[in-house]
Chain A
Amino acid sequence: KAGVTQTPRYLIKTRGQQVTLSCSPISGHRSVSWYQQTPGQGLQFLFEYFSETQRNKGNFPGRFSGRQFSNSRSEMNVSTLELGDSALYLCASSLSGTSIDTQYFGPGTRLTVL
């Protein structure tokens, strides 16, 4: 069974630009969560999607948005990039995101904002 895939793996953008990251969950998984990871802050929860609906949201500004498609693939978008947005963006999928459900992570997208 294929794992979680994320594209692209690396991105370099400049301040003010926008970026879209993609995540394909494990087949059969319907919940997708997004995290931002930086050396100083650790894993910070962005949002979670289930059945094309945002079910949970972390404490990030509105510049961060996401969506989920009917095949459970998910995208996240960051508009008006800032230097502080440089981070490893991780996507995790789980069967339903309810009860005690293990999250499986993708390799991440390394975003560098210049």
Chain B
Amino acid sequence: EDQVTQSPEALRLQEGESSSLNCSYTVSGLRGLFWYRQDPGKGPEFLFTLYSAGEEKEKERLKATLTKKESFLHITAPKPEDSATYLCAVQAGGDSNYQLIWGAGTKLIIKP
């Protein structure tokens, strides 16, 4: 069964303290992996798409990487405004009909 697992469920960091969020997946034929950021009460905001193992993408303090089994979202020197829930989703091949499989998210809190 296709599955996406995010860890940790929650992460508290001090401002400036770098860390990584994990998204592990077991799917048949990865087409793409997506990272979104969601603020409370709002819709998810698209961050990155990764297509193949070894690929990396960066945006400001965020860097996403992909291996054959997992993706990491690295946050360098975070600021309080980076506090949000980060969601990972995978688009699989096979009989998935292009539907996304979502992880439960990691709630990130950056303390000033």
- A interface with B by C-beta (< 8 Å): 4, 42-43, 45, 48, 55-56, 88, 90, 92, 97-108, 110
Q: How far is the CB of A95 from chain B (nearest CB, A)?
A: 12
Are the C-beta atoms of A98 and B98 separated by less than 8 Å? yes
Please give the distance in Å from B10's CB to the nearest CB on chain A. Answer: 13
Considering the chains assembled together, what is the distance between the CA atoms of A37 and B51 in angstroms? Answer: 26
Contact sample, A vs B, 22 pairs, CB 8 Å cutoff: A4-B43, A42-B105, A43-B44, A45-B99, A48-B99, A56-B97, A56-B99, A88-B41, A98-B98, A99-B31, A100-B31, A100-B49, A100-B91, A101-B98, A102-B34, A102-B46, A103-B34, A104-B46, A105-B44, A106-B43, A107-B43, A108-B41
Interface size class of B (residues with CB under 8 A): 20 to 34
Chain B residues with Cβ below 8 Å from A106 are 43
- Asked whether A90 and B91 contact (CB < 8 A) given A42-B105, A56-B99, A99-B31, the answer is no
**Who on chain B is nearest to A42 by CB?**
B104
Interface contacts (Cβ under 8 Å), in number, total 50
The reply to whether A90 and B44 form a contact with Cβ atoms under 8 Å apart is: yes
Q: Is B77 an interface residue (CB 8 A)?
A: no
Say if the beta carbon of B59 comes within 8 Å of chain A.
no
B100 within 8 A of A: yes
In angstroms, Cα B44 to Cα A100, docked, is 18
Interface string of B80-95 (1 = CB under 8 A from A): 0000000100010000
CB pair A43–B97 under 8 Å, yes or no, is: no
Contacting pair B42 A107 (CB below 8 A): yes
User: Is B45 an interface position by the 8 A CB rule?
Assistant: yes
Contact partners of B43 in chain A: CB under 8 A: 4, 90, 92, 105-108
Q: Which residue of A lies closest to B42 (CB)?
A: A107
Complex: how many Å from CA A107 to CA B43?
4
Q: Bound complex: CA of A43 vs CA of B36, how far in Å?
A: 12
Residues of the B chain whose Cβ atoms lie less than 8 Å from the Cβ of A56: 97-99
A97 close to B46 (CB less than 8 A):
no
Q: Are B49 and A102 in contact (CB under 8 A)?
A: yes
> How distant is the Cα of A17 from the Cα of B36 in the complex, in angstroms?
33
